[in-house]
Amino acid sequence: MTKYNSMIETISLAHGDGGELTHQLISDLFLRYFHDEALQPLNDAALLPFPAGRLALTTDSFVVKPLFFPGGNIGTLAVNGTVNDLAVSGARPLYLTVGLILEEGLPISVLEEVIVNIATAAREAGIAIVTGDTKVVEHGHGDLIYINTTGIGVVDDCINLDYRRIRPGDVIICSGSVGDHGLAVIAARENFGLEGLKSDCAALHTLILPLLENFSSTVKWLRDPTRGGLATTMKELAQSAQVNIILSEEAIPVHDNVRGGAEILGLDYLYLANEGKFCAVVDKIAVEDVLAFLRRHSLGREAAVIGEIKKGSGRVFLRTALGATRELYLLSGLQLPRIC
Amino acid sequence: MTKYNSMIETISLAHGDGGELTHQLISDLFLRYFHDEALQPLNDAALLPFPAGRLALTTDSFVVKPLFFPGGNIGTLAVNGTVNDLAVSGARPLYLTVGLILEEGLPISVLEEVIVNIATAAREAGIAIVTGDTKVVEHGHGDLIYINTTGIGVVDDCINLDYRRIRPGDVIICSGSVGDHGLAVIAARENFGLEGLKSDCAALHTLILPLLENFSSTVKWLRDPTRGGLATTMKELAQSAQVNIILSEEAIPVHDNVRGGAEILGLDYLYLANEGKFCAVVDKIAVEDVLAFLRRHSLGREAAVIGEIKKGSGRVFLRTALGATRELYLLSGLQLPRIC
């Protein structure tokens, strides 16, 4: 049963007009769950202290369909996705904004469930929700809920994750199995009846920030392989750093049900989105220590060396289990819309 | 004719999947127009220097319909709306994020026109676009373009716009005519054929920041009366500060075509959105100087004293031209969706 203090059970256009119903939504629903000290719901901007260091700023819109899927939902995704973009930039997450585009007719109970998940995920990630915005569009011009989150973090001056530090011989580590999020969402959306799939949606900063504290000189570059999956992230890295990358198919962690499910659906798990994994480029001398460090954390238990940096000009090759080599490109033509 | 370097003329779902078409959209379209030094389009977060002072953070989603209207469009609105939220908080605008939710089938030429307007408005406002995000939803689940912008600014330590500084006897100034934006958008959407209406969409920081420099002790509070219009903004102020407000109908600047058009449509211009106006609470001793200062600026030429702060408990009264008094409340039931 909804705790929203009103007889109105669905979102109407008047919830977005800035008047009485907008106020009621803010005070009865949002403020019930969002109560960070710095939150100033009726001010135009939140005024915030900012510690010494560089400011990291990231924004993401979330249009995932369905809103709820095994392992997560649009609310946890909107928080963790932005927290992770900060973390792989070496930033300690500080502040989060939440912008909602609601579709007329959205049940308030569904909105409430999403808000609860946003609040819980933010609290768990230690990021303060400080300001927000709500718009309502007519039925048929949205899809229940779209969320934008923008995150601010602070990066210590000693952290440098510039790809220009990458050298041939460096090693690529993946923090865990790939493809879980993308396949879980597609399976939930299409009712494919694949069993046991679960999004890996998680906030990674509790693993990444200590990693950077302990390995600041040997962990050279980080990225979370979300849309486009591991293959696209590797291709982007190879192109930016102007190196080649050799990946080992056998070394890439992938759960059996993801491998099997992807095969059934004709999808390549290397291109499926992840929401709780990161890739790191690490100096060879530190690989064993980094692996041991990652595996001690629940989010890094399946961490593995998956490849190596070579001299080159932006190409990515996969050594298959059979000993063949195939080249990987940016995701192209594979249409898996709305997985985040 | 579009300058987008491709044979593809409309947005497809593949433009949102993080792969080749996403990259092409970023490199061929967005980077053609967005070229702030700090922009790092393929990084997860922008890393930015931040000057001493408090950080102001604001977020807004824009779902205005139609996308283009006399005096502005969704692009100028998305930049100026966020710049103004920073400015009325006393912040110097620094950084802007742009999150796009595009509907499948959107003509690239329309997207390009919006992007050009975003880039131009940001350049004119001196705010740097530093990161962004693009998602695509299926045809029928959006409305061409929704935009989220999040703005960061810095507030000098000497600035204090806390409503707790407000005292009975303080005066309310409005920087210009009210209702222009809301009525122009509604008229454009519904093809009402009302002539000469034009949104007041403009970035106000070039007026507000010098105002605060010159009148830091006597300008006590600022707000831009957007959604819900002047009346809602005044009601919010009265409730926050726990004062009453007396407004003079005759003193409120309103253009004749807005007054007449609103009357024809049965709308109250006090509740129509503005996108280039602000209200200030000013110490009585400084009123003439503040008015003179505002009127020297093109965005403040029609500035006027519109009311006064009284002891009270959150009520707003309008003295009408006929000498009667009517109470104003939060916008309620008047449904003017999607005006910003």
**DSSP per-residue string spanning B209-237:** HHHHHH-TTTEEEEE---TTHHHHHHHHH
Confidence of residue B28 (pLDDT cuts 50, 70, 90): confident
Q: Helical H runs in chain B?
A: 20-24, 31-33, 74-87, 108-125, 180-190, 205-214, 229-241, 256-265, 287-295
In the predicted model, is pLDDT for residue B1 greater than 50? no
Confidence of residue A6 (pLDDT cuts 50, 70, 90): low
CA distances to A307, A315, A318, B63, B122 from A246, in Å: 5, 9, 6, 45, 42
Distance from the B151 Cα atom to the nearest Cα atom in chain A, whole angstroms: 9
User: What are the residue boundaries of the structural domains of chain A, listed by start?
Assistant: 13-155, 163-328
Which pLDDT score is estimated for B5?
A: 52
Which pLDDT score is estimated for B229?
A: 95
Query: From A143, which residue of chain B is nearest by alpha-carbon distance?
Result: B141
Which pLDDT score is estimated for B36?
A: 76
**CB pair distance less than 8 Å for B57 and A97:** yes
Query: From B62, which residue of chain A is nearest by alpha-carbon distance?
Result: A135
- Chain A to chain B Cβ contacts (< 8 Å): 255
Asked if A160 has any chain B CB less than 8 Å from its own CB, the reply is no
Q: Which tokens hold the place of B169? A: 């006897």
**CB pair distance less than 8 Å for B330 and A19:** yes
- Tell me the backbone φ, ψ of residue B256, rounded to 5 degrees: -60, -40
Rounded to a whole number of angstroms, the distance between the first and last alpha carbons of chain A is: 28
Chain B residues with CB-CB distance to A91 below 8 A = 45
Which residues between 191 and 230 in chain A have a beta carbon less than 8 angstroms from any beta carbon of chain B?
A: 223-224, 226-228
The answer to whether the B13-155 and B163-328 domains have the same CATH topology is no
Distance from the B173 Cα atom to the nearest Cα atom in chain A, whole angstroms: 18
For chain A, the average pLDDT equals 92
**CB pair distance less than 8 Å for B20 and A46:** no
* Of the candidates B67, B154, B80, B152, the residue with the CA atom closest to the CA atom of residue B112: B67
pLDDT digits (tens, 9 = 90+) for A274-302: 999 999 999 999 999 999 999 999 999 99
In the predicted model, is pLDDT for residue A3 greater than 60? no
Mean pLDDT, residues B13-26 taken together: 85
Chain A residues with CB-CB distance to B62 below 8 A = 135
Q: Helical H runs in chain A?
A: 20-24, 31-33, 74-87, 108-125, 180-190, 205-214, 229-241, 256-265, 287-295
Mean pLDDT, residues B148-171 taken together: 95
Asked if B275 has any chain A CB less than 8 Å from its own CB, the reply is no
Any bridge partners for residue A68, and if so which?
A: A73
In the predicted model, is pLDDT for residue B2 greater than 50? no
* Of the candidates A99, A82, A100, the residue with the CA atom closest to the CA atom of residue A91: A82
Chain B residues with CB-CB distance to A22 below 8 A = 227-228
**CB pair distance less than 8 Å for B332 and A19:** yes
Which pLDDT score is estimated for A29?
A: 86
Lowest mean pLDDT among A119-128, B14-23, B88-97: B14-23
**CB pair distance less than 8 Å for B61 and A89:** no
Distance from the B302 Cα atom to the nearest Cα atom in chain A, whole angstroms: 24
Asked if B162 has any chain A CB less than 8 Å from its own CB, the reply is no
Chain A residues with CB-CB distance to B141 below 8 A = 141-143
**CB pair distance less than 8 Å for A63 and B152:** no
Query: From B151, which residue of chain A is nearest by alpha-carbon distance?
Result: A45
Mean pLDDT, residues A127-137 taken together: 93
Mean pLDDT, residues B148-175 taken together: 95
Q: What percent of chain A shows pLDDT beyond 70? A: 96
pLDDT digits (tens, 9 = 90+) for B36-76: 777 765 677 888 888 888 999 999 999 999 999 999 999 99
Which pLDDT score is estimated for A34?
A: 85
Q: What is the DSSP letter of B327?
A: E
* Strand arrangement of the beta sheet that strand A128-137 belongs to: A128-137, A91-103, A145-155, A54-62, B46-48
Asked if B332 has any chain A CB less than 8 Å from its own CB, the reply is yes
* ipTM higher than threshold 0.90: yes
The correct CATH number of A13-155 out of 3.30.1330.10, 3.40.1050.10, 1.20.120.1690, 2.40.30.20 is 3.30.1330.10
Residue A253 CB contacts under 8 Å (≥ 6 apart), including other chains: A174, A176, A177, A178, A302, A303, A304, A306
Which pLDDT score is estimated for B335?
A: 60
Asked if B57 has any chain A CB less than 8 Å from its own CB, the reply is yes
Distance from the B297 Cα atom to the nearest Cα atom in chain A, whole angstroms: 23
Q: Give CA–CA dist A171/A166, Å, rounded.
A: 10
Asked if A136 has any chain B CB less than 8 Å from its own CB, the reply is yes
Which pLDDT score is estimated for B178?
A: 98
Chain A residues with CB-CB distance to B189 below 8 A = none
Which pLDDT score is estimated for A200?
A: 98
Asked if A237 has any chain B CB less than 8 Å from its own CB, the reply is no
Asked if B61 has any chain A CB less than 8 Å from its own CB, the reply is yes
Distance from the A1 Cα atom to the nearest Cα atom in chain B, whole angstroms: 26
Which residues between 83 and 102 in chain A have a beta carbon less than 8 angstroms from any beta carbon of chain B?
A: 84-86, 88-89, 91, 95, 97-101
Asked if B14 has any chain A CB less than 8 Å from its own CB, the reply is yes
CB distance A13 to B336 below 8 Å:
no
Which pLDDT score is estimated for A286?
A: 98
CA distances to A200, B90, B92, B209, B220 from B159, in Å: 45, 7, 11, 10, 9
Lowest mean pLDDT among A73-77, A128-132, A199-203, B49-53: B49-53
Asked if A34 has any chain B CB less than 8 Å from its own CB, the reply is no
User: Which of B91, B240, B333 is nearest residue A14 as measured by Cβ atoms?
Assistant: B333
By the 10 Å C-beta count (0-12 exposed, 13-18 middle, 19+ buried), A222 is classed as: buried
Q: Give CA–CA dist B231/A93, Å, rounded.
A: 38
Distance of alpha carbon A332 from the chain centroid: 21
Which pLDDT score is estimated for B194?
A: 83
Confidence of residue B35 (pLDDT cuts 50, 70, 90): confident
Q: Which of residues A33 and A145 earns the better pLDDT score?
A: A145
Q: How many other C-beta atoms can be found within 10 angstroms of the C-beta atom of residue A213?
A: 11
Asked if B338 has any chain A CB less than 8 Å from its own CB, the reply is yes
Rounded to a whole number of angstroms, the distance between the first and last alpha carbons of chain B is: 28
Confidence of residue A2 (pLDDT cuts 50, 70, 90): very low
For chain B, the average pLDDT equals 92
**CB pair distance less than 8 Å for A63 and B101:** yes
Q: Which tokens hold the place of B96? A: 């802007």
Which helix H or strand E contains A310, and what residues bound it? Answer: strand A304-311
**CB pair distance less than 8 Å for B232 and A132:** no
pTM of the model: 0.93
pLDDT digits (tens, 9 = 90+) for A219-237: 999 999 999 999 999 999 9
pLDDT digits (tens, 9 = 90+) for A152-178: 999 998 899 999 999 999 999 999 999
Which pLDDT score is estimated for B12?
A: 86
Confidence of residue A5 (pLDDT cuts 50, 70, 90): low
User: Which class would CATH give A163-328?
Assistant: alpha beta
Chain A residues with CB-CB distance to B99 below 8 A = 59-61, 99, 148, 150
In the predicted model, is pLDDT for residue B213 greater than 80? yes
Query: From B182, which residue of chain A is nearest by alpha-carbon distance?
Result: A17
